[in-house]
Structure formats: structure tokens, C-alpha cells
Structure 1
Amino acid sequence: MENGTAVHPQVRAWLERSVLQPYISEFCSRLQRSRYHASTIHCYLYCIAHFAHWAGRHRLALVKMDERTTTRFVAEHLPHCDCPYPVKRGRSDTRAALSHLLQTLSTCEVTTENRADWDPLHTELSSFDRYMTEVKGLAQSTRQQRIHIIRRFLNERFASGSFMPDRIRPTDIRRFVLGQEGVHSTGTIHVVGGAIRCYLRFRSVAGDPVHGLLDAVPSVAHWRLASLPEVLSEKEVQQLLGSFEQLPRSPKRAHAMARCLTDIGLRASEVVQLHLSDVDWRAGTIRLAANKSRRIDVLPLPTETGRAIAEYLRTERPQTSNRALFVRDGAPFDRPIQAGVVRRVIRQAYLRCGLAHSRVHILRHSLASSLLKTGTPLKEIADILRHRSLDTSVIYTKVDTNRLAAVAMPWPGRSL
């Protein structure tokens, strides 16, 4: 190839005969600029050659090379592939390679067909996403979850015909929310039902009469503050924080992220949104912008948290032009990490410590419980956790057993 990558003659032939041939050099250069290892570039090139061979057999024009086509290749062709040696059939590598290919074509300003012309569902979901952003002000993770649910619902409802939202019936909604034969759990019903209600309100804004459909969405019983928050003891928190030294890869990044969770009570989404400029080393503060409450908050930066962040920046953070505080430890380095990385780091720490937990939010609960036990007023705890309402923080009083014991009344009939 032009960039010096040695490939099998068959792979070279597939690429050179493909409509993708003019963009292969830029594809490889893009990966090199992102500091991908030579073996990874080699693998991705073989994946692209496989896709090019398949596209050539189906006589797909360049304007058809879009996300829908690549998804079809991975979902329909790879499981039944009989293409000759030396094809690559790994789904994970193929998805990653095709994602880079689409980005390369976009950078090269290759025009694809207007999706809105042939996919009205795509237009519908894009409008729904704008509604959730501009009207509801929902976080990105919530929007993505609800779009995924509504896409499944609409695909099931209109699988055999044209997309016509005015033909949605109450029975369609009940069947989808409850699951086939009512197998969905109460938690699933709550999440799916919330997404359906949000979509119906969006359709109401568009002028559809949806009041009868809203009444058809099943609900589950839910009593506010009825449950007990899961918390870790102080000993368990220290055990977790000490477990990151065992990591063979990025231990200081993992420790710094965990400190942000346990010392300041940040959410996983807030950790990944931190930028270098958000830490004021002189004032000893850290700024949270565009968080769940959609406001800017400035919190004190505890000494141990600041020390952990500084150690990561000095000794482990790769050189990159990205201003995110926590960045990837593998190519492409110039991108911030995703919230899933934070969750995976904490789940693995739970396993190393033998703790039967999985949720990152437990660390936030543990901080609140610890502050309450040391006598911190409930209002200050609400401020630290950035709760809009004091009622949200009240639940932590239910795990403050020492204070509850002091006000507990004698059990009726108990001998004094």
C-alpha cells in the first residue's frame, strides 16, 4: 500500500478494484496520526478489504457507504461469510474498522444519500432527540437510552409496513412495555414506560391526540424513599482505593477517578466531563460544568483527591492535544474516556476486593453516609452532592443507625 503497509496480494486486489481505493491511503494515515499500533492498522485494513470485496459483489455505489450499510454487513454477512482467504471475520475489529472508514469518507467530503429521503424513522428519532435536548433538557445518556427503546418499539410496531405514528394503538403500548406474556420486571417496566411517555408527549407537541395512549402506558407501584441506599463501610472504601496498585495498566488514572467518586461524590458522567481547566490548583477547587442539574458548580478539592490527580497528570497521562482530564490509555489517545470506562474500573475493583456490588453510585451513597455519621448537616450534604431538593438527601438518614437508635421509642410490651 502507499503508506508502506504490507498486505496479502488478494487483499491488495480487493482494495484496488474497489470504489474505496482513492480513500485507503487517507484511512491508513488517519490511524497512524491517532497512534494506532502497526498491527492494529494491518488488521483494520484487512477488515476494510473484506467489506470492499462484499460491496463489490453487491455492486454498491460509494454513495451507499453509510452506517446502515456497514451495520448490514456486520449483522447479516459476517455470521454466514464464505469469502475466500484471507478475510477477517471478527465483529469487534470489523465494527471499529468500518467506523474509521465512515469517518474518513466524511473527512474527505464523500456525499452519501440523504437518509431522510428513504428512512422516515431516522428523521422521527432525530426530531425526538432534539425535543429531549431542547425542551426536556435531558442528559445524553438518558436520551440515548430512550432513543434505543423507541427505535425498538417503532420497529416492532411497523415491521411489516410504512412508519405511521398515528396508527399506534393502546394494545401496542401495553404489549411492548409489559413484554411478551408480561415477563418484564418492575424496573424494566418503569424505564420502558418512562421512555414511551416521553415519546408520546413529543408526539403531542407535534399535534397528535395522545391522551388516550398516555393512559394506556402501564405503571408500577413506587414509593419515594422506600428503599435503603447501599453503602460501603469506611474500611471497604479504603480497601477499594488501595486495590488499584495491582493494576498492570493505568493504575494512577483508575485511582484518581475513584478518588473523584469517593471523596467528592461525582457521578461517572461527571468524571469523564472534567477538563484540565476545571481544576484550580491555587484555589483548591474543582469545577463541574453542564452536569445533571445543568448548572456550573464549584467544589472544594480534597488534598488526597488533588494528589491522586496530580500524580496521574505527571506520570501516566499520555501526551495529547485533548483538554479532557482523563483520556484514553490506548489509540486513539486524542479522545476522552467514556463513562463506561469509569464503571468498568469500579466493577473490577469490587471483584478484586470481594465486594458483592456492581453500581458506581454506591460510592456516592457511601460518601453521604460517611458525612452524616461525622455530624455534617443534611443541608451541607445536599450541597456537596448537588441535590436540587433536600428530600433527596433525607434517605441517607435511614442508614445512620447511631442517631436512629438515640431517638427510637421502646418496643410496645418490652420489659424496661
Structure 2
Amino acid sequence: MTETAFATDEALKLHIAHWQRELGSVKRLAENTLEAYSRDLGQFLNFLAGHTGGTVTIATLSALRGADIRAFMAVRREESLGSRSLARVLSALKSFFKFLERDGVMATEALNVIRTPKIPKSLPKALTVSEAKQTIATTAEMEERPWVAARDMAVLALCYGAGLRIAEALAVTRGDLEGNSIRVTGKGGKIRLVPLIDTVRTMIETYLGLCPFKLWPDDPLFRGVKGGVLSPRLIQMRVVQLRSALGLPPSATPHALRHSFATHLLGRGGDLRAIQELLGHASLSTTQIYTAVDTDRLLESYRKAHPRA
């Protein structure tokens, strides 16, 4: 860990060193996180030294007010620090002050009145229609065993063609197939019935015809090469191969296919409530994030195509 300078007296530096050791050896924080926490605390203490006009001591920290911490956060915000980084800064400070309180060194209520910055939801990164189709179609070229290739294509087809989470797709049983629909168990055990388009249904039927294992109604539909439950890691690794072969960005994951399903439906005029049901979202607000995704895509197309853009 790189050494961080602290504008403090020797007594406080000793407490900081003990806190750092605890983060590393007891809480086992990653090296990068430990460095970030130490850097955040160092920046706060240096700010405090200038703010109060002297070396920071335990007495300085004991006299802290919420306004002092807000002033520091405002300075960091002016330095273009984002909400996610500010939330980490606050987490680092709370960790240190809780350490001091637990060791009986001091206690303060200053941090309790500071709200964690609201972190905006990151927008899903959808593939284009062409990229999504290529991802599924190219799977057959990545695998010599026909039944394994058919299996992986069917799993990815469920992610893109039916909007399933990877865990949902791998939990599907033979008995969950109901004609042109599939019964899906989502988060919280909530069950939904999702229609299957012809392409997806055909891929599943192809897999069923090639699968070398007996598939009972209550058993998982997708099997590993030894007959056990298929691991999501194997599908994720398959998509990594496909990313390399097709030159897709790191954001191209099995879950990105689910995002693409929702984004493409919305772009083709799909009803938001219907998409909510298909995805298994408990709240419409969760589904509404795709309206922003589609707007971004439209604006990007506009800027590229419009002669005055």
C-alpha cells in the first residue's frame, strides 16, 4: 500500500495505522480499496487542517460538526468527484470514526447527519439487433460437440428472445415448457409465463433432440457435459469467446442480452407494462430505465445521421 500523508499529530497517526491494519488483516479489504480509504481519510484530514488552522488531533475530531463534513464534501464535489466516489469517501470516514468509537478513543454524531450521495442508476448497455443475433448464431462455431452448441444457443436465445436472467434460464425444467410458452421462476420465487417466439422454441427443440441425457419433468432442462446442472460460469465463458470472435465490447454479457431484449422491444413500440411483465420486474420504475436507453440510442442515431447535427 502506498503511504498517505496525514496532517495530524503523532497520537492520531498511531490510531490511523491501527485502523489501516484492521482493514487489511481483519476486514480483508482489497488492496485498491484500502488505498482508496486511506487516501480519502488523508484528504479529509488535510482539508480539516486548513479548515481549522492547525494540526488535526483527537480533540479536533471530537469537536467536528456536520457543517465541517459538508464543507469538505462540497470541495470534493467542486473537484468534479462523482456521487459514487463521494459515497466511498463517506464510507471511509464512517469506518475510521466507528473504529475510534469502538476503541473508546472518541465519539461524534457529526457523520450521522450526513446523507450518502444518491448514486444514479447506471443505464443498461444493450447490443444492437445485429450483434445480439450474431452472438447466438456464432455459438455453433465455438463448439465441436453439436449438443453442447445447441444447448448454449438455446440458453442465450432465452436471454435475448425471452428476456430471461441467466439464472432463470438455467433453472428452467423440462416441465416448465408449455407449448409456445415457458414458466419462469424469478426473484422472490415469483412465477411468470413468458411466450416463446418460433426461433427460440426451435432452438430449444433442437437441443432437446440432441441432448444425450434423460430429461425428467422436474429436472433442470440444461445439463453440463457430465449430466449435472449447467453452471452459469460456462455460459459466461462462452460469451467471452464470442466477444473476442465478434469484436464486441466487454459490456456484452449474457445479462446484456436481456437488456437488449427489453430495449429492442421498446424501440419497436412495445408497451412498457407488457415489458415489465415479461422481465418479471416488481416495479414499473425498474423497467422505465429502458426508456432512457432507447432515448440515448435515438439521439445517437440523430447525431450521426442528421446533416446539421
1:399 Cα deviation from its structure 2 partner:
2.6
1:257 matched to 2:111? The reply is no
Q: Distance in 1 between matches of 2:212 and 2:176?
A: 16
Deviations 1:37-92 (A, max 9, x none): xxxxxxxxxxxxxxxxxxxxxxxxxxxxxxxxxxxxxxxxxxxxxxxxxxxxxxxx
Q: 1:303 to 1:320 in 2, by over 3 A?
A: closer
1:384 to 269, 272, 278: 278
Q: 1:221 to 1:278 in 2, by over 3 A?
A: same
1:343 matched to 2:236? The reply is yes
SS at 2:183 equivalent: strand
Counting only pairs closer than 5 Å after superposition, residues 119-198 of structure 1 correspond to structure 2 as 156-157=25-26, 179-182=33-36
Q: Distance in 2 between matches of 1:319 and 1:221?
A: 53
RMSD: 4.0
Q: 1:378 to 1:297 in 2, by over 3 A?
A: same
Deviations 1:164-217 (A, max 9, x none): xxxxxxxx79x7898323269969x88xx8xxx9xxxxxxxxxxxxxx9xx79x
Q: Distance in 2 between matches of 1:379 and 1:297?
A: 14
Letter paired with 1:182: A
1:318 Cα deviation from its structure 2 partner:
2.9
Q: How many positions carry a matched residue from both structures? A: 214
- Higher relative CO (Cα under 8 Å, sequence separation at least 6) belongs to 2
- What is the match of residue 231 of structure 1? 126
1:221 Cα deviation from its structure 2 partner:
4.0
SS at 1:336 equivalent: coil
1:300 matched to 2:198? The reply is no
Q: 1:375 to 1:320 in 2, by over 3 A?
A: closer
SS at 2:135 equivalent: helix
Q: Distance in 2 between matches of 1:176 and 1:239?
A: 37
1:403 Cα deviation from its structure 2 partner:
9.3
Q: Distance in 2 between matches of 1:356 and 1:178?
A: 25
**1:274–1:288 CA contact under 8 A, matched in 2:** yes
- What is the match of residue 176 of structure 2? 278
**Which 5+ residue runs of structure 2 have no aligned equivalent?**
1-21, 41-83, 96-107, 303-307
Q: Distance in 1 between matches of 2:191 and 2:289?
A: 25
**2:24–2:30 CA contact under 8 A, matched in 1:** no
Q: 1:182 to 1:368 in 2, by over 3 A?
A: same
1:360 matched to 2:254? The reply is yes
Q: What is the percentage of aligned positions where both structures have the same residue?
A: 26
**2:23–2:34 CA contact under 8 A, matched in 1:** no
Q: 1:384 to 1:320 in 2, by over 3 A?
A: closer
- What is the match of residue 91 of structure 1? none
Letter paired with 1:228: L
- What is the match of residue 138 of structure 1? none
Counting only pairs closer than 5 Å after superposition, residues 15-414 of structure 1 correspond to structure 2 as 156-157=25-26, 179-182=33-36, 221-225=117-121, 227-246=122-141, 247-249=143-145, 250-281=148-179, 284-289=180-185, 291-319=186-214, 323-329=219-225, 331=226, 333=227, 335-357=228-250, 358-401=252-295
Q: Distance in 1 between matches of 2:273 and 2:193?
A: 16
Q: 1:323 to 1:219 in 2, by over 3 A?
A: farther
**1:274–1:325 CA contact under 8 A, matched in 2:** yes
